[in-house]
Amino acid sequence: MYQAEEEAGALPEAALSRHGSSSSRRSLSFAQQRRSYGSRLVFSEDKHRMDRLKREWFHGKRCLDIGCNSGKSLTIPIAKRYSPLFLVGIDIDEDCISVGRSFMRTEAKAARAKARLSHSIDEQAPMSEVCRDSENPLQLGEYPFNIGFRCEDFTDDVHPDAEYDTILCSRVTKWIHFTQGDAGIFRLFQRVSRSLARGGVFVLEPQPWQSYRKDRGSALVPLSALRFHPNEFLDYLCGELGFRFVDSVQLDTADQRCFYVLQKPL
């Protein structure tokens, strides 16, 4: 049994501040570190992964993408192809979020012009509020008004109270591990569990341990201090948090990565 450190004794989330907190300092090092490994801003769709993501995980669903980068790899293609009710992309890198927002402003402007809309939409407003606008003929679930971006550290910042049907976390766990250690991974999984609706789906693509070894030179937390390895993530999610294993979708990569699909109990 894993002795995951629960957040008992912590301040209520509403009392935490995003500014001047440890998360804001960590976010900068995290973003710099990720780029030093070559995981820079992404400007194109990841067709390989998109083809393996299933429509039923997203269509008509309330969705969250943790560690979305610029959104162009998966977040925006998902919103466009699979028509989620709404999709929020979050990343700790402000540059990434700026690129995503800028692109979506352009997309929204084109859509408004096409629909001859005269009012503007605040790209930072919650999608559920944006799309309730009675003057807006484009409905909740219609691209490009079903997607928004926010700069946030999901493991530490105050995430708005929300309940999601699907949470995607692709190629993010290694970066959290490298900056926050095992405790960061436990916090990530605990918050995912709390944020998912009953019966909700968690789609996880963890980086394998061999990729940690390749990049260990710049890790803020030494590999020797990491005891909770990626091949143990499923045991914790299913054993301690009660998720049900649904499927593993193999990715055609040299290191045999896959999407793990897990469901929160009803």
Mean pLDDT estimate for the chain:
80
Distances (CA, A) of 17 to 5, 6, 49, 125, 235: 21, 20, 35, 20, 33
In the chain (266 residues long), the average pLDDT of successive 10-residue segments reads: 36 28 46 45 81 96 95 95 95 94 92 68 45 41 91 86 93 95 97 96 96 88 96 98 97 84 96
The structure tokens 């570190």 sit at: 33
Query: CA-CA distance, 46 to 44, in Å (whole number)?
Result: 6
**Cα–Cα distance, 236 to 257 (Å, whole number):** 19
**Residue 75 phi, psi (nearest 5):** -60, -55
Query: Which of 217, 243, 228 is closest to 180 using CA atoms?
Result: 228
Q: What would the two tokens of residue 111 be?
A: 């859509």
User: What's this model's pTM, rounded to 2 decimal places?
Assistant: 0.80
β partners of residue 263: 201, 244
Rounded distance between C-alpha atoms, residue 190 and residue 26, angstroms: 19
| pLDDT, tens only, 126-173 | 454 433 333 333 456 789 999 999 999 999 877 777 899 999 999 999
CB neighbour burial string for 52-89, b if at least 16 within 10 angstroms, e if fewer: ebeeebbbebbbbbbbbbbbbbbbbbbbeebbbbbbbb
Radius of gyration of the chain measured on its C-alpha atoms: 18
Provide the pLDDT for residue 264: 98
Q: Closest Cα partner for 48 from 258, 263, 262, 210?
A: 258
Q: Please give the pLDDT value at position 10.
A: 26
Return d(Cα 54, Cα 223) in angstroms, integer.
34
